[in-house]
Structure 1
Amino acid sequence: MPTTTDDAPEAPAHGSPVLAGVMVALVGFSSSFAVVLAGLVAVGASPTQAASGLLTLCVTQALGMLWLSLRHRIPLTLAWSTPGAALLATTGGAMGGWPAAVGAFVATGALVLLTAAWPRLGDLVARVPPALARAMLAGVLLPLCLAPVTALATDPWAVAPVVVVWLVLLRAARRWAAPAALGAALVVAVVDVTAGDGARLAAGDLLPRLDLTAPTWTLPALVGLALPLYVVTMASQNLPGVAVMSAEGYAVPWRESMAVTGVATVVGAPAGAHAVNLAAITAALAAGPEAGPDRERRWVAAVTAAVAYLALAVASAALASLVAASSSAVVPAAAGLALLGTFAASASDALGASEQREAAAVTFLVAASGVVVLGVGAAFWALLAGLGVRAALRAGPRAVTTPRR
């Protein structure tokens, strides 16, 4: 399942692993950090706690990349779960508030660790029909992808330049369209903050710091947050990440990778980090020809990406504070543009298979509805409804068509 909007152009023969690693970090961070902040705030984090989560994600995935790439000498890159962040953004607050959301993050990491210890759990996730998993993701992304439309209608002078930048880069350099749009949105946000009263952004808010929260566990948060977060992270990040690496000729140490990302998620959860996983599309930047002609040296790209993420961690608090201080909807609009390609690909893949189209459509609609039943969010009910429709349509005798004479 796609996780970004990148369509990699033909790689130059003189690619450099160091430049490729920097590109991995810049593209991965800039194209989706606003989605991460929105997701954490939606499930109850304060702006300070969301900034702490972004900082922690940068650090934990960087440390995991350093361990795996140096130990195995392969260009194995990690990322935060962008689909998981989108899931949080549309699920809303968990019963029990932010501590319950943190407990759900811990439970997600524990499930990933269980996958490392018992690989058959990963096999069960892989058996979820891809059309339904993609339909669930498309439904989760739909409200976020509508943000540019609504923001353009309410604040056209702020949002229109961002849309123009996105369109121009989408044609000229597709990979940089989302980062450029977010960059333009941040410029608008800076203007918005400086034009207002200065009290909205204090100097102390620009410094990185951790904000720890003791986790609590509630059944609605475990069912409505942890389980969908685990499924969408496995189905849309970890499994495709293995496929991307395999296509480039590298074997992923599956159990160790799941152990490293599971530990990173569990350890980072109290500081607000929702999920660390294998990179998917950006993995091709580090593992492909853009990281140099020598396949045995491409692991340097992963190490460089890790160092770049550590540098970006220092700037994460300032970016998070700027987004929180701005009264404009331009940053969420840019985030919606960044997710548009993923939404389109997910919806197309989900509804393209005619034999599961009805079940996928039900999954998509329930996920997009945002309904909360018994304190459990729409993503869980969407997957349950889709599986139920699929089972009902497959049960009983199939219709028999009489051949024409």
Structure 2
Amino acid sequence: MFKDLSPQSVFMGCLTAFVGFASSFAVVLQGLKGVGATDYEAASGLMALSVSMGLCAIVLSLWTRLPVSIAWSTPGAAVLVTAGVPEGGFAVAVGAFLVCGVLIVVAGLFRPLGRAVAAIPAPLANAMLSGVILGLCFAPFKAIAFDPALGLPIFIAWAVVAAFKRLYAVPAALVAFVIVMVLGVELPDGAFATWASSLAPPVEFVAPQFTLAALVSIALPLFIVTMASQNIPGIAVLKVNNYDPNPGPLFAATGVFSLLSAPFGGHAVNLAAITAAMCAGEDAHPDPVRRYWAAVIAGIGYIVLGLAAGAVTAFVSLAPPILIQSVAGLALIGAFSGSAVAAFKEPETREAAAVTFLVTASGISILGISGAFWGLVAGVAMLGLLKVARARA
């Protein structure tokens, strides 16, 4: 096993962990706070997710000898941003996270459920995702309007780096955010002492509570976007790089690690899509058989970064909220553009996708259930009407 380890895999694994964590941790924090988490509970959730996905990557990569990259569900976190605080608070959201984890396990072990998720029309799933993301993608421009001296450097750093190397654009924006914080934000007295006291790993157990409304408005949309936008594309990335994984056990394993992170505030872990290409490609090693070590090293990196989640969250909490929302929005622009193009690409499903997108983006809540669910329901109904009308014609 250790004979397959190489400096190239170590470097790519470290880079994968940094890019995966830095590019979307802001989205995770915003999502957890969106369903009622306190700053400390959000830090605990970030820590639990990072450690869980690191352990999952190590276990699956060593078990299968494939470069199985794991990530937290960034689209799922975006769903949480718009879901709203459920009645009963964050404990109810944690109950929904547990239900989502169970559904992912069942989808991996029970093939009909996995096929049912895969059967959701891709344009509608993408329209729901783009509708969920839309509001947060406005944040970078709202930050510029809030204070150009603070918001503009973050956007410029992202735009310049994205023009040359998209993968490093969000980390560049994060560096700009840190510089803006240090030079442009007046920190309160005792801020450094508060930050130093947060260096210990944050651990907060949240006793879950379960409600039907949270099941429908949080667990189901979280499960759908995690499977459709992360797990299924994650398998596709491995296949593109000439690997032939068995999807079921991999899905089930991510569900198990999601269940382990949920009581500490983590919403879901899943197969990585973007960072999966880093570990599965030639940059990880010329020999495909030895690339699994890149995913193992990335897993170790996620664990180390996760243990520092308290310090990261404490530093971020010192900034005006719109600034960290700006970084989160920039992290989702690529996902928004990709999902929007996929949603409206086919003329036959364009109207149904538009209905899904608009209902979801409207942010409506009916019977305590968020717009993401109603958007998917409205889109499916519209798609059914269009098929009936075309059949009669």
Could you state the TM-score of these two structures normalised by the residue count of structure 1?
0.92
Once the two structures are superposed, residues 225-245 of structure 1 have per-residue CA deviations (whole angstroms, 9 ceiling, x without a partner) of: 000000000000000000000
For the 8 Å contact 1:138–1:364, the answer to whether it is kept is yes
Pair 254,19 (structure 1): closer, same or farther in 2 beyond 3 Å: same
- Structure 1 position 200, deviation (Å): 8.6
Deviations 1:253-295 (A, max 9, x none): 3222122111111111010000010001110100011101011
Task: State whether structure 2 residue 135 is matched by structure 1 residue 143.
Answer: yes
Equivalent of residue 274 in structure 1, options 264, 267, 276: 267
Distance (Å, rounded) in 2 between the aligned partners of 1:99 and 1:158:
35
Aligned mate of 1:383, from 362, 370, 376: 376
> Hey, what's the Cα distance between the residues in 2 that align with 1:91 and 1:190?
33
Instruction: Please state if 1:336 is matched with 2:326.
Output: no
Cα distance 1:327–1:62, how it changes in 2: closer, same or farther (>3 A)?
A: same
Gaps of 5+ in 2: 1-5
Kindly indicate whether residue 85 of structure 2 is the aligned counterpart of residue 93 of structure 1: yes
Q: Structure 1: which 4+ aligned runs deviate by more than 6 Å?
A: none
The residue number in structure 2 matching 1:319 is 312
SS in 2 for 1:16: helix
Corresponding residue of 1:161: 153
| Percentage identity across paired residues of the two chains | 47
Aligned counterpart in structure 2 of residue 262 of structure 1, from 239, 255, 259: 255
Range that drifts further, 164-173 or 274-283:
164-173
The Cα of 1:19 is off from its aligned counterpart by 1.3
Q: Distance in 2 between matches of 1:82 and 1:196?
A: 31
- Preserved contact between residue 198 and residue 310 of structure 2 (Cα < 8 Å): yes
1:3 corresponds to: none
Match of 1:185 in 2: 177
Give, as a single letter, the amino acid of the residue that structure 1 aligns with 2:159: L
How far does residue 182 in structure 1 lie from its aligned partner after superposition? 1.6
Structure 1 position 178, deviation (Å): 1.0
**Secondary structure of 1:325's match?**
coil
Equivalent residues in 2 for 1:57-72, closer than 5 Å: 57-72=49-64
Moved more, 383-392 or 306-315: 306-315
Aligned residue for 1:392? 385
Equivalent of 1:42, from 34, 48, 55?
34
Could you tell me which amino acid in structure 2 is paired with residue 232 of structure 1? V
| 2:45 corresponding residue in structure 1 | 53
* Structure-1 separation of matches of 2:149 and 2:13: 36
Q: For this pair of structures, how many residues does the alignment match?
A: 387
CA shift in 2, pair 1:338/1:187, >3 Å: same
Letter in 1 for 2:266: A
Contact 2:51 2:307 (C-alpha < 8 Å) held by counterparts = no
Please name the residue that 1:11 is paired with.
none
1:106 aligns with one of 86, 98, 101? 98
The corresponding residue for 1:228 is 221
Paired with 1:216 and 1:195, the residues of 2 have a C-alpha distance of 37
Unaligned 5+ segments in structure 1 are: 1-13, 401-405
Matched, 1:292 2:285: yes
TM-score (structure 2 length as normaliser): 0.95
Corresponding letter in the other structure for 2:218: L
- Deviation, 1:168, is 1.1
Q: CA deviation at 1:155?
A: 1.1
| Residue among 219, 244, 249 paired with 2:212 | 219
1:129 is displaced (CA, Å) by: 0.5
Give the partner amino acid of 1:178.
V
Matched, 1:172 2:155: no
Matching residue within 107, 118, 121 for 1:115: 107
Query: 2:238: which partner in 1?
Result: 245
